[in-house]
Amino acid sequence: MHASAAGADLAAVGFIMSAHVVGMYALTPLAGWLADRVGSPRVIAVGLALLVLASLAGALAPARDVALLSAALFVLGLGWSFGFVSASGLLARGVASAERARLQGAVDSAVYGSATIGSISSGVLIATVGYTALCLLGAALIVVPALVLVRLGAAASAVQPAGRAAHPA
């Protein structure tokens, strides 16, 4: 909507959206590998940082700059992927196998239900306050999960016996 309102043609808008989808799914194996290698909380933190970076880049990108908008939306998708894949792995490791499918299904339903609400409300927000404000709001909303991640990290560190390093996952 933002790029097309500025005069971008359908091919440009399609390219921008394709960059976003590629960011979401093409590097999911990398996100999983990193989560196994350095720990899910760290990869989630990188994902949150990527989401902020993408939001700020989107806010600053001129509406006709297809390359910058494509890069911003690619990074947005990548941030989502890092967070989603890492959190899913963390959830799966923390639940007994008998409960895993039920819990993962419930979480997936909540995530995709929230995504639906977010998609609808983002269209309303773009129409009322503009794309830049939407991007800045997105960046600001990252504060909540970042604080939760910091709080969980502090809690995990507090329960570690003296002299033992926390497990990275």
What is the per-residue pLDDT for 165? 47
Query: Considering the chain, what is the average pLDDT of its residues?
Result: 86
- In the structure, what pLDDT confidence band is assigned to residue 163 with cuts at 50, 70 and 90? very low
- In the structure, what pLDDT confidence band is assigned to residue 58 with cuts at 50, 70 and 90? very high
What is the per-residue pLDDT for 63? 82
Cα 145–Cα 44–Cα 135 angle in degrees, nearest 5: 55
Domain at 2-151, CATH class: mainly alpha
- 81, pLDDT greater than 70: yes
Neighbours of 135 (CB within 10 A): 22
- 29, pLDDT greater than 70: yes
Phi, psi for 26 (deg, rounded to 5): -65, -35
> Which of 7-16, 36-45, 110-119 is predicted with the least confidence, judged by mean pLDDT?
7-16
In a 3-state reduction of DSSP, which class is residue 144? helix
In whole angstroms, how far apart are CA 1 and each of 42, 45, 59? 34, 30, 14
> Which of 28-32, 61-65, 161-165 is predicted with the least confidence, judged by mean pLDDT?
161-165
Q: What is the pLDDT of residues 83-109, one digit of tens each?
A: 999 999 888 888 888 888 899 899 999
Nearest one of 111, 137, 146 to 58, comparing CA atoms: 137
What is the per-residue pLDDT for 164? 43
Distance (Å, rounded) from C-alpha 41 to C-alpha 47?
10
Tell me the Ramachandran region of residue 167: left when phi exceeds 0, alpha when psi lies from -120 to 50, beta otherwise: beta
What is the per-residue pLDDT for 14? 80
Q: Are 79 and 47 in contact (CB under 8 A)?
A: yes
pTM (global) more than 0.75: yes
